[in-house]
Structures are given as structure tokens and as C-alpha cells.
């Protein structure tokens, strides 16, 4: 049995000023009429029923999850009382899913990615699940074939083929690499055995919990105590104990140490919608290469990103600028400063 765990607790600061602490990017319509989290859940419909889709999020975003995913069962909203990075929230979720569905497999997914070929995406997950179901304690991650020397993503180095299922190769993972500089990224691309780490993986509840117990002993002990609480006392115990877990990413805390880990090289058209440049890649452009969202007039200008929430915006005779209207602020800057959004936000807010 396959369940989905969607991680939706991030702040999305690189999409400021549209993304805020109160309503971060996973709850925004960045690429179309649906929000990022709605797109994530919808693409799973043909593979996993909504009863087996779980969302882990921060307490402050629970109402947004309810509002945007009205068909999601209430029990499937897993609440982190305080942000402690990805390893504890995944382990907490594994305890809860295990209570509901026993030793089910879990596909862990970010809530803010773009997938172009959704049929192939679902088939890739299905093949990963088939391998995990027949290989005790295995983890299968999905690695994206790089088409450029990207410095904003982590990488996965792979080696020999472990197994072939249909047209999918399942390869042994050699190591995970942090975000590289440009020279390293170019080398990874030329060597041909490196993939982008999309943060998507399939494993069984028992594998999550056993590896947490082995590598994050304190976190496992705290979460075990929380999981043992009665239904009536669960939220109270969660609130009082969860802050004691280790704050560590699943990559650093578990993945980089795990032995039985594999990767499927994937090519279903993936992007981490991480900055306004990502939106520029996929939004429709006018004849002058401008991305215009909302009521925009772009006159004698090119290569601009202009986003209006309510008011009409007129841009005249400017190239390579970035304009975003939010509820609280209008941001105007050069596109070259998009990578400095978090730094700029700290100076303004």
C-alpha cells in the first residue's frame, strides 16, 4: 500500500513580497489557476486516493491547508508545533501513517514543485514503490537528469544498475553532494553520472522509523513518547514534547548515512519552483519576452517580470526589471537582484 506525504511547512522567502510568513509560496497561484499545493495533490489522484494523502505543515498554515484541500481528511493534516527541519517531521508522519495503514510505503514530496509529464511521474513513483515493496529497508529517491550546470540544487552521484523495471533503471546511490559552485556543476554535467536531488523518495514506514532510531536516537525517543499518547492526549503531548527533537534535515540526518539507498534517473520534466526565475521559465511571455501576471501594460520594454495583485501596473521603456505588487508593498528592482530577495527582505521588514 502506498501513501503520500506532502511537506508544506516552508516559508518561501525567495518569493517575497508575494509570499509571506502568513501565506507562503505553496499556497499561491504562481504558475496558473491552482496553488502549488493543489497542483501537487491533484497530480497524485490517479495513483493514490485522497484518504492516503497526508500533509505535514506548521500550525499557522492548518487553516490554509483545510481551505485549499477541502477533501483532505482532517486526520491527514499532520501539524508541527515548531519547525525542526525535515527529518523529525517525516519521522513524526511515519509514526502517524503507521497507525493508520501499518507498514505502508510512503512517497515523500515537496509541495512546491513543477512536474510536466504527470503520467510519467506517477509511473516512476509506481516503479519505485514496486522496488521498495520487494526489497527490505530500501529507499528509492528520484533524481532528475540535469540539462544545465545548476548551482541551486543538490546532486546525487549514482553507479551500477541494481534492477530494471519496465523502462526504468534503479541504480545504486554512491553519495549525495551539496549545492556546487559553477565549476563543479559543469563537471557533474560532463561526467554524466550525477542527477539533481529533487527531494522526492519512497520508503516504508518501518524503514523511516528504523533509520531514525539508528541515526537520530533522541528524535526517535521523543517521537515514540508522542506516538504512544492516547488520541485524546496526543495534541497535548505533541505540543509539550516536540521541541525536544533534533533540528536536522532528512538528507543530512539520514540519507547521507543510509546504506540501502537507490535512485531512479527521471526525465518527466521537473523544476523546483524556488525563485522568480522559475516562474519566468514557465509563465507565458509576450512578444518582447515579458512575463505579465495581472493587469499589466508593458510599453517599449523587454525581459521584465511584472506581477499585479489588484492595481493596474504600467511599465514604460524599461528592460530586465522585476515588479511585484502584494497586499502590503510594491517591489521594483532589477532582475539581477532576484537572487538577493531574502537579503533585501531582511532590510525592509
Section 20-38 average pLDDT: 91
- Asked whether 56 and 68 are in contact (CB, 8 A), the reply is no
- Say what the pLDDT of residue 266 is: 93
Count of other CB atoms within 10 angstroms of residue 218: 12
Q: Report, as an integer, the average pLDDT of 172-182.
A: 93
Taking the C-alpha atoms of residue 53 and residue 325, their distance in angstroms, rounded to an integer, is 34
pLDDT for 166 equals: 80
Q: What is the DSSP letter of 55?
A: E
**In contact, 57 and 9? CB cutoff 8 Å:** yes
DSSP code at position 251: I
Output DSSP code: residue 178.
P
Question: Residues of 174-186 as b/e, b for ≥16 C-beta within 10 angstroms?
Answer: eebbeebeeebbe
Q: Which three cell numbers stand for residue 189?
A: 554535467
Going from N- to C-terminal start, the domains of the chain cover: 2-271, 276-348
Rounded CA-CA distance 85/9 in Å is 9
d(CA 32, CA 211): 39
Ranking 58-67, 70-79, 275-284, 295-304 by mean pLDDT, the lowest is 275-284
Rounded distance between C-alpha atoms, residue 122 and residue 107, angstroms: 11
**Contact assessment for residue 252 and residue 219, using Cβ atoms and an 8 Å cutoff:** no
51 pLDDT higher than 90: yes
Q: How many angstroms from the chain centroid is the CA of residue 77?
A: 16
**How many angstroms separate the CA atoms of 196 and 223, rounded?**
31
pLDDT tens string 282-314: 889 999 999 999 999 999 999 999 999 888 999
3-state class of 257 per DSSP? coil
The candidate with the shortest Cα–Cα distance to 140, out of 6, 263, 253, is: 263
HSE (side-chain half, CA atoms, 13 Å) at 243: 4
Contact call for residues 13 and 345 (beta carbons, < 8 A): yes
pLDDT digits (tens, 9 = 90+) for 143-175: 999 989 988 889 999 998 887 888 889 999 999
| Comparison of pLDDT for 218 and 20, the residue scoring more | 218
2-271 CATH, one of 3.90.1150.10, 1.10.10.10, 3.90.550.10, 3.40.50.720: 3.90.550.10
**For helices 217-227 and 86-101, angle between their N-to-C axes, nearest 10 degrees:** 40
For 211-224, what is the mean pLDDT? 97
Question: pTM, whole model, 2 decimals?
Answer: 0.92
Nearest-angstrom CA–CA distance, 86 and 252: 10
Spatial separation of the C-alpha atoms in residues 38 and 134, rounded to whole Å: 31
Amino acid at each position: 500500500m502506498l501513501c503520500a506525504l506532502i511537506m508544506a511547512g516552508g516559508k518561501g522567502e525567495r518569493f517575497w513580497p508575494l509570499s509571506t510568513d502568513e501565506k507562503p509560496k505553496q499556497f499561491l497561484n504562481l504558475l496558473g489557476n491552482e496553488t502549488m499545493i493543489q497542483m501537487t495533490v491533484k497530480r497524485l489522484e490517479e495513483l493514490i486516493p485522497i484518504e492516503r494523502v497526508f500533509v505535514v505543515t506548521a500550525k499557522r498554515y492548518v487553516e490554509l491547508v483545510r481551505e485549499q484541500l477541502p477533501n483532505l481528511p482532517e486526520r491527514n493534516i499532520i501539524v508541527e508545533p515548531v519547525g525542526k527541519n525535515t527529518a523529525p517531521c517525516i519521522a513524526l508522519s511515519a509514526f502517524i501513517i503507521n497507525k493508520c495503514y501499518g507498514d505502508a510505503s510512503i512517497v515523500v514530496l515537496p509541495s512546491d514543485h513543477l512536474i510536466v509529464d504527470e503520467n510519467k511521474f506517477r509511473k516512476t513513483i509506481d516503479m519505485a514503490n514496486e522496488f521498495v515493496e520487494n526489497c527490505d529497508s530500501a529507499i528509492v529517491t528520484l533524481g532528475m537528469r540535469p540539462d544545465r550546470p545548476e548551482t541551486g540544487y543538490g546532486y546525487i552521484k549514482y553507479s551500477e544498475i541494481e534492477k530494471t523495471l519496465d523502462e526504468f533503471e534503479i541504480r545504486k546511490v554512491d553519495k549525495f553532494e551539496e549545492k556546487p559552485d559553477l565549476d563543479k556543476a559543469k563537471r557533474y554535467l560532463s561526467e554524466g553520472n550525477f542527477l539533481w536531488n529533487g527531494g522526492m523518495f519512497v520508503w516504508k514506514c518501518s524503514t523511516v522509523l528504523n533509520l531514525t532510531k539508528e541515526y537520530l536516537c533522541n528524535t526517535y525517543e521523543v517521537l515514540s513518547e508522542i506516538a504512544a499518547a492516547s488520541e485524546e492526549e496526543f495534541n497535548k503531548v505533541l505540543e509539550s514534547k516536540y521541541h525536544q527533537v533534533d533540528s536536522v534535515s532528512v538528507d543530512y540526518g539520514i540519507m547521507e548515512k543510509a546504506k540501502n539507498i537507490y535512485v531512479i534517473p527521471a526525465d518527466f520534466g521537473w523544476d523546483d519552483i524556488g525563485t522568480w526565475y522559475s516562474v519566468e521559465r514557465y509563465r507565458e511571455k509576450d512578444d518582447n519576452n515579458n512575463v505579465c501576471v495581472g493587469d499589466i501594460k508593458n510599453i517599449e520594454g523587454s525581459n521584465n517580470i511584472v506581477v499585479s495583485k489588484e492595481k493596474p501596473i504600467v511599465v514604460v521603456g524599461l528592460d530586465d526589471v522585476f515588479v511585484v505588487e502584494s497586499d502590503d508593498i510594491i517591489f521594483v528592482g532589477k532582475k539581477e537582484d532576484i537572487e538577493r530577495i531574502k537579503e533585501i527582505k531582511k532590510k525592509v521588514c
